[in-house]
Amino acid sequence: MSAAGQASRDGATPPPGRDTVRWIDERAGASPALKAALRYVFPEHWSFMLGEIALYAFLVLVGTGTFLALFFQSSTAETTYHGSYAPLFGERMSLAYWSTLRLSQDVPAGLLMRQTHHWAALIFIAAIVAHLLRVFFTAAFRKPRDITWAIGVTLLMLAVLEGFAGYSMPDDLLSGMGLAIAYGVAMSIPVIGGNLAFLVWGGEYPGTHEFTTRLLTLHIFLLPALIGLLIALHLAFVIRNHHTQFRGPGRTERNVVGTPTWPAYALRSLGLLFATAAVLFLLGGLVQINPIWQWGPYETYLATNGAQPDWYLGWLIGGLRIMPPLEIHFWGLTWIPNPFWGGAAFPLVVFGVLYAIPWLDRRLTRDFSRHELLDRPRDNPQRTALGMAFFSWVALVFFAGSADRILIRFGIPYEAQIWFARAAVFVVPVLVYLVTRRICRELQRSDAHPLRGWSGRRVRRTPAGGFAVVEPGAATQAGDDG
Amino acid sequence: MSVWRVIVAAVLLVLRGGRRGPKPEEPVDPRERRVPINSRAQLLVAALLALGGLAGLGFSVLYLLEPGNETQWLGLALGVALALIAAALIVAGKAVVPQEIAVEERSQLVHEHDEAIVPQMVAAGGEGVTRRRLIAGAAGVAGIGVGAALVTPAASLGPNVSQRIDDTPWRRGVRVVDERGRAILADDVAFGTFVTGFPEGASLRDLAAPIVIVRLLPSTIHLPAGRPLAQWAPEGLLAYSKICTHAGCAIALYRYPSFRATQPRPALVCPCHYSTFDPARGADVIFGPAGRPLPQLPLAIDPATRELRANGGYSGSIGPAWLNVDRGGA
Amino acid sequence: MRRAALALALGALLAAAAPASAAGPDGRALFRGSCASCHGLDGRGVPGSGPSLQRAGAQAADFYLRTGRMPLANPSDPPVRTPPLFTDAQITALTAYVASLGAGPPIPPVDLVHADLSAGRRAFTDHCAGCHQVLARGGIVTGAIAPPLQQATPTEVAQAVRIGPYLMPRFTRRQIDDRTLADIAAYVQWTKHPDDRGGWSIGNIGPIPEGLVAWFIGLLALLVVIRLIGERSPR
């Protein structure tokens, strides 16, 4: 019994904080909710905290982003640079680029905030992906959490869009090239692409001067509001459904076993918040990211080698690079321009599959009931194998996108890598499926019979030099090796 | 089969590492509450917090001392401060405050009674409404009408795409100039180099403006039908749009062999997805994802000044393709 | 192919044993020993093996020899920077010999004193960044690698621009005048120590190393933290 409880039972002074809680109750009637919040139980497995990493990275993004928004100017109006960075002295550049330079060079702690913000974006999405993988492979997306899953997939999509909009705002050479490609992909959407691209850009690329303001509005207002709202909804569902848990002693489909929020879990989670912020600020101060002064300002007629998008769009550059030069055109019209396949169809398929996962899982397992206990990946070999196969497909395309640096690093010719990737996208997922399914089954078997272990066969060397199988428990005899 | 076993064995060795399967479920009560009363841990927490505070102060001091620069020191100070506080919180959360395992019953999500009542309540709202079909029909008309009103303005958004893209600043007689507006002469373009040109007087930002000019031996040039060399490659000079027909990046790479016997043919290459175009054959695509050749610009050499001028418009639409793109009949 | 390699080895031996005259190594002998098998006696060129060097001049000879791109073991190999096979004196002699074969350009002078870094960055981005990357960290073109330039001296930069070695375009004075060439060389010099005020530069090539750091340093550190905070399996 806590000291506070003791005091109240003795009839002596009321427990400290009682007045505060009374104050809140008189206005909001919130003490039942507070009680529930304090007693809310969190299962303790470490992999359940991946989503929290994403959440805390988002908080750092909002904080650092607010700082940046107070200095950044989104205008395409041109100015001449007369600052201290010699290679740009006398250069004409947009105010967007200029104000980002200023943030990086003259505003105290400006570069720290900019770099922390950018690292936070990369890690935000990395944590979402890690979290998504955990949820998938433990089948936490099953009823009643299929809506939570759909919200999560939407959050991933919005986060990727938000990141792209964010790093495109400074109008530097690298991100400008990325915007041109986004325009090309938008144009490639069948039939409506041209009008769609003109709608977004306000005309032919590079668009009207309003385009940069649209990026800004999207990045600092529309998308953060939407993401914040969806995060709140996502958490509301998680709380309403309570967290899932692994099987174990005392754990059933009807309870949750773990640490209550107060005091231990709240402190640990707060600790994770500070740890996330610490990692992000350490990276932001110590490791350079997106040094736009080195890239120079963007012009539509300039390009640099080795231009890549941020990591979470690497799968799209891979798709665009490995696709053969196929365009569907007849009757004088181009129905499907090439960038559509790698830049639009590919992500549509991937996100379509992600959204469909709860439904697909129900169909394939014929299991429509509510689940609160998690599967270990091995418990459903087919699901795990399909998931690994799909992941390997996306990962293959992702790595193909960096084939130029792979050539420089490892000497493998570029064209050979592209041809390999074109074949591998069909072959590798099948292989991964088969291998993963087999591994899951072996793991299941070794769980059921721990003494038997790996279902191999013992062999012994015969004097003739060959191998003979030793049947378990049988006398030694020569025999064919299977 | 043996290949399977090798792979499986390797993975199992990595994965299994000492883990046992779950015990069979016994009726066990996992509840527990452990009060550490660990004064060393509490001391540690206090120390970490204090150090973290110092580091945080250090950040402010550094900020005031070194305005603007020394990002690394600022990041280190702030990062270390946050890390120390994180450590304090984690130690507190795991070794100082009571450690408890609690069991909570999950809430019932399905409420049979309310689930029956809700539709009844909704239906009760329609009590007394007799002419349902009439009202429903009228509501449908209203929906279609207002919906159309919301959507139709989209049709007027943006001008006709083909008009805008195919209306380029290049016309017969327009001088080819560099970024600074100085005329480019035929003799500025030697063998083996590539020159970026713009139409005189046009905005450099216009996607249709930049062209790339190269010089090849006329005997090696084979252009598509309908492009006589005199108009399209005078003295072996060829001009193509610099904007890639794949996704719109600038084509900033030119590969030109110094010894043709062992090295590949000249090519214009885009750095984004490595679409590779053969300038000797009307910028035909020889590698990469681009779906159509680069549009070519016919050139003329002013007999008096040797200035390069356009000899007409592009052979097709420039830039990334869309529904009505003019593929140039290549 | 093997004949060329054999000839090369032989030539190297001969080079090592070349009699040093009062003026230094014998350029002609060195040439015959190491270069003639592909470039022909008197540098006329051998079809399928090596081009004529009669108009190459000191500019090209000095460049290729100093950067070790030549001699090349196999004509179809890409000529890449290697430690030079010859000593300085031998290179000087060879260069003089090649220059004597015809009316080729001399080694270009580079005046960095009045170079404009900003103009150099501009010109480099315009003409060079497409292959060599905007910070001269190197890149690829279909069929070849465009090398990073951190080891290039200003003279080598000027030579390469004028020669257009291997698959690189060649830029004449009419396109890039000597002043601009000096600016470009100054910029390339500068890229050896760019302004990395943001911290560890991780290669100066942008998002790929950034993504690797985000996953394998950032997220990994946080994975360690949550492993410490959380439990491993249900107790």
Q: Is the CB of residue B276 less than 8 Å away from at least one CB of chain C?
A: yes
Angle, vertex CA A135, rays to CA A129 and CA A138, nearest 5: 135
- Per the structure, the count of domains in chain C is 2
How far apart CA B271 and CA B261 sit, in angstroms, is 25
A172 touches chain C (CB under 8 A): no
Q: Which residues of B9-39 are buried (b: 16+ CB within 10 A; e: fewer)?
A: eebbeeebeeeeeeeeeeeeebeeeeeeeee
Crossing angle for the helix pair C220-229 and A110-137, to the nearest 10 degrees: 60
Q: Per DSSP, which regions of B27-132 are E strands? A: 32-34, 99-105
Q: Does residue C228 lie within any of the structural domains?
A: no
In this predicted structure, the answer to whether residue B132 has a pLDDT above a threshold of 90 is no
User: Are A11 and A4 spatial neighbours (Cβ–Cβ below 8 Å)?
Assistant: no
Residue A430 has pLDDT above 50, yes or no: yes
Would you state the pLDDT for residue A451? Answer: 64
Residue B110 pLDDT: 81
B296-297, strands of its sheet edge to edge: B176-177, B194-199, B211-215, B237-241, B296-297
Handedness of CA A362, C234, A449, B26 (dihedral sign): negative
Q: Which runs of E-coded beta strand occur in C137-200?
A: 139-141, 144-146
pLDDT digit string (tens) for A47-77?
Answer: 999 999 999 999 999 999 999 999 999 999 9
Residue A277, Cβ density class (10 Å: 0-12 exposed, 13-18 middle, ≥19 buried) = buried
Residue C156 has pLDDT above 80, yes or no: yes
Q: How confident is the model at residue A31 (pLDDT cuts 50, 70, 90)?
A: confident
Q: What mean pLDDT is predicted for residues B73-91? A: 95
Greater confidence (A332 vs B67) lies with: A332
Q: What is the pLDDT of residue A60?
A: 98
Q: Answer whether B34's CB lies under 8 Å from B98's CB.
A: yes
Residue numbers in B near C195 (CB within 8 A): none
**A223 residue type, one letter:** L
Nearest CA to B21 out of A247, A435, A252, A47 is that of A247
Domain co-membership, C87 together with C124 = no
- Å from A447 to nearest chain C CA? 15
A109-146 in b/e burial notation, b at 16+ Cβ within 10 A? bbbbbbbbbbbbbbbbbbbbbbbbebbbbbbbbbbebb
Tell me: the pLDDT tens digits for B257-274?
A: 999 999 999 999 999 999
Contact C18, C33 (CB under 8 A): yes
Express each pLDDT in C179-216 by its tens digit.
999 999 999 999 999 999 999 999 999 999 999 999 99
Question: What confidence score (pLDDT) does residue B170 get?
Answer: 96
Q: Which string of DSSP letters, residue by residue, matches C97-140? A: HHHTTSS---PPP---TT--HHHHHHHHHHHTHHHH-TTS--EE
**What domain range is C82 assigned to?**
25-107
Which residues in B lie closer than 8 A to residue A266 (C-beta atoms)? 93
CA torsion, ordered B70, B72, B75, B79, to nearest 10 deg: -140
From C77, C107, C137, the end of a domain falls on C107
Q: Which of B5-19, C26-40, C66-80 has the lowest mean pLDDT?
A: B5-19
Determine the Cα–Cα distance for residues A152 and B148; give it in Å rounded to an integer.
Answer: 33
Q: Please report the pLDDT score of residue B22 as a whole number.
A: 46
- Say if C231 is an interface residue toward chain A (CB within 8 Å): yes
pLDDT tier at B125 (50, 70, 90 boundaries)? confident
The domain tally of chain A equals: 1
Stretch B117-126: mean pLDDT: 88
Give the domain extent around A265: 43-311
Quickly count: other Cβ atoms within 10 Å of residue A223's Cβ: 18
What's the pLDDT at B266?
97
Q: Which residues numbered 174-233 in B keep a CB inside 8 Å of some CB on A?
A: 196, 198, 204-207, 209-210
A223 occurs within a structural domain: yes
| Residue C91 shares a structural domain with residue C61 | yes
Q: What is the pLDDT of residues A114-125, one digit of tens each?
A: 999 999 999 999
Report yes or no: B261 at the C interface, CB cutoff 8 Å.
Answer: yes
Residue B26 has pLDDT above 60, yes or no: no
| Res. A477: pLDDT tops 50 | no
C136/C172 same-domain check: yes
B38-78: per-residue pLDDT in tens? Answer: 889 999 999 999 999 999 999 999 888 865 558 999 999 99
Report whether the peptide linkage leading into residue A144 is cis, meaning its omega lies within 30 degrees of zero: yes
Chain B residues within 8 A of C1 when measuring between CB atoms: none
**pLDDT tens profile B97-114:** 988 899 988 887 788 888
Q: What percent of chain B has pLDDT over 90?
A: 64
Helix (H, G, I), strand (E, B) or coil at C200: strand
Q: Which of B4, B106, B19, B23 is nearest to A377 (CA)?
A: B19
Q: Which one of B254, B278, B284, B287 would you mutate to disrupt binding with C, by most C Cβ within 10 Å of its Cβ?
A: B254
Read off the pLDDT of residues A46-55 as tens digits, 9 standing for 90 and up.
Answer: 999 999 999 9
- Average the pLDDT over each of A233-242, B98-107, B283-292, C156-165 and give the range with the smallest value: B98-107
Nearest to A118 by CA among C213, C205, B69, C197: C213
Are C29 and C95 part of one and the same domain? Answer: yes
Residue C139 lies in a domain: yes
User: How far is the C-alpha of B166 from the C-alpha of A334, rounded, in Å?
Assistant: 15
Whether cis (ω within 30° of 0) applies to the bond prior to C79 is no
User: Per-residue confidence at A278, pLDDT binned at 50, 70, 90?
Assistant: very high
Contacts of B267 (CB under 8 A, 6+ apart): B254, B255, B276, B277, B278, B279, B286, C141, C142, C143
Rounded to an integer, what distance in angstroms lies between the CA atom of residue A50 and that of residue A33?
26
* Count of C-beta atoms within a 10 Å radius of residue B318: 30
Which of C69, C167, C229 is the best residue to mutate to test the B interface, defined by the most B CB atoms within 10 Å of its own CB?
A: C167
pLDDT category at C110 given cuts 50, 70, 90 is very high
* Spatial separation of the C-alpha atoms in residues A363 and A394, rounded to whole Å: 23
For the segment C131-154, the average pLDDT, to the nearest whole number, is 95
Higher pLDDT, B6 or B147: B147
**C42 in the same domain as C69:** yes
Share of chain A above pLDDT 90, in %: 76
Q: Smallest Cβ distance to C142: which of B86, B250, B255?
A: B255
CB < 8 Å from C in window 295-324 of A: 295-296, 302-311, 314
Q: What is the CATH number of the domain that holds A96?
A: 1.20.810.10
Residue B330 reports pLDDT greater than 70: no
Does the residue C36 lie in any domain?
A: yes
Above 60 in pLDDT, residue A478? Answer: no
Whole-prediction pTM:
0.89
For residues C112 and C161, state if they share a domain: yes
Arithmetic mean of pLDDT, A311-315: 97
Within-domain flag for A240: yes
Q: Per mean pLDDT, which of A442-456, B115-129, C50-64 is the most reliable?
A: C50-64
**A8 and chain C in contact, CB less than 8 A:** no
Confidence of residue A481 (pLDDT cuts 50, 70, 90): very low
Residue B159 has pLDDT above 80, yes or no: no
Q: What is the mean pLDDT of the segment spanning A420-436?
A: 96
Residues 389-418 of A with CB under 8 A from B: 404, 414-415
The verdict on residue A112 lying in a domain is: yes
Strands B237-241 and B296-297: antiparallel
Q: Please say if the pLDDT value at position C121 is more than 80.
A: yes
- Whether A275 maps to a domain, the answer reads yes
Total length of chain B: 330
DSSP SS3 for B301: strand
Q: Is the pLDDT of residue B28 over 80?
A: no
If you average pLDDT over each of A256-260, A395-399, B38-42, which comes out highest?
A395-399
Cis peptide before A190 (omega within 30 of 0): no
Residue range A80-99: average pLDDT? 95
Closest by Cβ to B255, choosing from C129, C141, C229: C141
What's the average model confidence in pLDDT over B173-181? 95
- Beta-carbon contacts of A123 under 8 Å, excluding residues fewer than 6 positions away, are A53, A57, A276, A279, A280, C214, C218, C219, C222
Interchain pair C167, B276: CB under 8 A: no
* Confidence at C90, pLDDT banded by 50, 70, 90: very high
Domain presence at residue C67:
yes
Whether A242 has a pLDDT exceeding 60, the answer reads yes
Query: pLDDT-based confidence at A6, cuts 50/70/90?
Result: very low
Q: How far is CA B98 from the centre of its chain?
A: 49
Q: What is the CATH number of the domain that holds C53?
A: 1.10.760.10
Residues 6 or more apart in contact with residue A73 via CB below 8 angstroms: A95, A96, A98, A99
Question: A35-49, pLDDT tens digit by residue?
Answer: 889 999 999 899 999
Q: Which element (helix H / strand E) includes B44?
A: helix B39-65
Nearest to C197 among B22, B69, B261 (CB): B69
Cβ–Cβ < 8 Å for B290, B277 = yes
pLDDT of residue A111 exceeding 60, the answer is yes
What residues have CB less than 8 Å from B49, skipping those under 6 apart?
Answer: B84, B85, B88
Task: Identify the residue among B273, B292, B325 best suited for mutation to test binding to A, counting A beta carbons within 10 A and taking the highest.
Answer: B273
CB spacing of B207 vs A260 below 8 angstroms: no
State residue C167's pLDDT score: 95
Is C8 a domain residue?
A: no
Please state the φ and ψ torsions of residue A279, each to the nearest 5 degrees: -60, -40
What's the whole-number mean pLDDT along residues C65-83? Answer: 92
Inspect the interface and report whether the beta carbons of A180 and B247 lie closer than 8 Å: yes
Identify the residue whose tokens are 């004028």: C162
Q: Chain-wide mean pLDDT for chain A?
A: 91
User: Strands, E, within A53-142: which ranges?
Assistant: 78-80, 92-94
Looking at CA atoms only, how far is residue C133 from chain B in angstroms?
10
Q: Which chain C residue lies closest to B214 (C-alpha atoms)?
A: C169
